[in-house]
Amino acid sequence: MDNDKIDQIIKNHQGKDNSLIQVLLEIQDENHWIPHEVLDRVSKKLDVPLSRIMQIVTFHKTFSLIPKGRNELHVCTGSACFVRGSTRLIDKIQNLIGIKPGETDSELKFSMETSNCLGSCNLGPEIIVDGKHHGRVKPDKVKDVLKKYE
């Protein structure tokens, strides 16, 4: 992520109380992760101690300090989805793109996470890709879902 883009995000929020989290969220949204040198820049530009920024980015699961894929894939492993076969979906995803939960593929296309509940138990098993819900997904349909995001 280039410094001009970071500076623009910071400038858009300068002078606003409690803008730090919003700045970090926008950088995360733009870049899919936050490199350490970006945290240093934000610290200096907003005059916030780096230790405070680190507290925030390591506490909130929203933030990532490691590279993430352009597409965030979440597979529900809650009770309803588990009973309906969410583990088979995870296995299929692993076979198709070669990543396990918590990993990112080498081309930075996809990052996969699991969640105990994605809030749509009646749609299980469910996959969310970039905020879009895909319900009642069967293993043979996973490839079709992922193809939309390549």
How does pLDDT run across 58-89, given as a tens digit for each residue?
Answer: 998 889 999 999 999 999 999 999 999 999 99
H or E stretch covering 82: helix 79-83
Beta bridge partners of 110: 71
Q: What is the pLDDT of residues 117-141, one digit of tens each?
A: 888 899 999 999 998 999 999 999 9
The domain spans of the chain are: 3-59, 71-147
**Which three-class secondary structure state does DSSP give residue 34?**
coil
Q: What angle do CA 64, 91, 85 make, to 5 degrees?
A: 105
pLDDT value of position 17 = 66
Could you report the per-residue pLDDT of 18-34, keeping only the tens digit for each?
789 999 999 999 988 99
| Domain 71-147, second-level architecture | 3-Layer(aba) Sandwich (3.40)
Looking only at the bridges linking them, the beta strands covering 110-115 and 132-134 are: unpaired
